[in-house]
Each structure stands twice: as structure tokens, then as C-alpha cells.
Structure 1
């Protein structure tokens, strides 16, 4: 139990002087209900846009096998040292996507939207936080990423970005865009 601190008479008098002009608040007798989370409306993508965004992702495709520890991938034709640069934190993510608490379908939609948005904004690195939990998203996210043509490489994030519960993803930029990627 914490000790009670004694209030000096000067402090007590100072408090009384400050609140001397205060008047009691009147209760308005209205009960304010908060809107349940499920009832809030979210902006929904149009079905055709949703289909385009999910075009690259198949749940049946199991091209990436998650082993214990770090997850790493470098696309064919890319510099194999890209994964090492991501691992060391030499390439800083410009945007972060947190998938905690999402279903597989929601996570897949958010991931597709992020990759599309990164292309539009010409961002070359993203951090995707999937968490550890039961490991469902930790297994699915890498399989979705290797199917996307704009993913150059990914690696488990360094400690400062979430370690095994997150991936740093390096993306291809549209033609003409330039990214600072250390060698």
C-alpha cells in the first residue's frame, strides 16, 4: 500500500484559492452511448477493385516454407544481398501495416491495398507487422508476398521494427522512380 503524503497548509490554502470561483457542474441527465465497434462503418472497396487487388494472392499456394527463426526471400534476378540489408536495418521502412487482430481475408485485403498504395506513392520499403500469436498470419503473409510481382525481397524485421513478428518488404518502384538502397 503506498504511503500517503502530507499536504502542507500552504498547498491546501493555495488549492482553496484556485477553486474558490468554481461552480458545480449541472448533470444533463443524458446517457451517451458509445457506438459499438462492429456498428462503425468502414469504407469498403468496390468488388472489382477488391478482385484486382487480390489477383496475385492465392491461399492454396504454399511456395514459402516458414522455418523457425528469421524469414527471408529474394525474388529471382534480384541481388541476394538485399535480404541482408533488410536484416541489418540498412533499409528503413517508409510505411508500417499492422495486421494484429485481423482475419486472413481482412489481412489479405489490407496487404494488397498496402502494396498498391506503395506503388502509387513510390515507396520502396514497408514494414508488415503480422504478430506471432497462433502463427496463422506469420505463415500466410510470406506466401502472399512471394506471389506479388512487385516484391523484390523480404526479411524478418530487426528488433527495433518487431523482429519475428514483422517483415521488412522491399518493393519494385515504377519505371523512372529512384530509391536509395545501400549496398
Structure 2
């Protein structure tokens, strides 16, 4: 292995080099006076405060084996049997504004199922009738599972792919039953 030679420019003379050494003869290194950065706390996604019983009841409706919804292309839409058939069109046009938004980005399907059950319980508790579920596009795993889960829940009246302002193909707008 070759030893690294001193990096001296051909323009620097011995006299210049000697003069530089004399000028820094009394210098000492500067001590580190900077405070090292502290790692910022990560923003944890929090589930709405819902009792364990309600969550267990809502999870009861979600089966991974059930394939009730078949994707037929670009947009997802569903209207519960016996409800107004025009609801999905009204959701598509953005006539309903979501009162709460659930973001499922970065979650596993098990975590997403729990969060979705929590959202439905929260909407029931707070008497909210419209919600937005952002599942993202990614590999499409949640995009396939979320509609199947929603069809199984009795409080979901209708859903449709969200308008562009609420996430387009990566989100669903839900219309829920409000119990008095």
C-alpha cells in the first residue's frame, strides 16, 4: 500500500509553507460547543377513545374470508340493500362532507381493521354520518380489503371512491346510519 503524500500544490513554495507554519504555531483546536440534535418524538397515530367491548363488537363484523365486493375497475361504490340507490352518486359528486378522516397509510391489514372498527364506533358514539377512509394506493392490499370490510358492517349505508379533494382512488367516502 502506498503512503499518501502530502497534498502540496505545485504553486506553494517552501518559503510559503514555512511562513504558514509560523503563523499558526500558537493555535490550538477549537472545542466542540454545539449541542447535538435530539431525535424528535415520532408522531404516533392514536385510535379514538373507544371502549374494548365496542371495538370487539365492531371487529365481529369484519371477516377477511368474505369477498362480497368485487372490484370492477377504477372506482369503488356500494349502496346497502333497501337504501336509496343514488347515495353513491351523491358521494361521488361530493355532496356529503366528511366529518372525520381516518388515514390508514403504513398500517398492516390487522392494524387497519382495528382502526376502521374504532372509526365506525367513534362515528356512532358522536353521531357522525359521513367519514373518509384514506387507504392509499400502494400495493392495493388495503384498497381491496377495506371495501369488503365495510360491506359487512350494518351501519354502512353507502360508500364511493372519494372525489379528488379527499384523496381520489386512495380514499373512500362513507355514509353511515345515525342511531338516535
What is the aligned residue count? 148
- Counterpart check, 1:104 vs 2:109: yes
**CA–CA distance in structure 2, aligned partners of residues 94 and 41 of structure 1:** 18
> Aligned-pair distance for 1:54?
0.6
Provide closer, same or farther for how the CA distance between residues 69 and 50 of structure 1 changes in structure 2, counting only shifts above 3 A.
same
Q: Structure 2 matches for 1:115-130, cutoff 5 A?
A: 115-130=120-135
**CA–CA distance in structure 2, aligned partners of residues 41 and 61 of structure 1:** 28
Per the alignment, in what secondary structure is the counterpart of residue 110 of structure 1? Answer: helix
> Aligned-pair distance for 1:34?
3.1
Task: Identify which of 140, 159, 163 aligns with 1:158.
Answer: 163
> Aligned-pair distance for 1:92?
1.0
**CA–CA distance in structure 2, aligned partners of residues 67 and 91 of structure 1:** 24
**CA–CA distance in structure 2, aligned partners of residues 48 and 102 of structure 1:** 23
TM-score, normalised on structure 2? 0.73
Q: Structure 2 matches for 1:140-155, cutoff 5 A?
A: 140-155=145-160
Partner residue in 2 for 1:82: 87
Task: Identify which of 133, 136, 140 aligns with 2:138.
Answer: 133
> Is the CA contact 2:132–2:166 (under 8 Å) kept in the aligned structure 1?
yes
TM-score, normalised on structure 1? 0.72
- Counterpart check, 1:67 vs 2:72: yes
Cα deviation digits, residues 45-94 of structure 1 (max 9, x gap): 77655422311100110000112201000001100000010000011111
Unpaired runs of at least 5, structure 2? 1-31
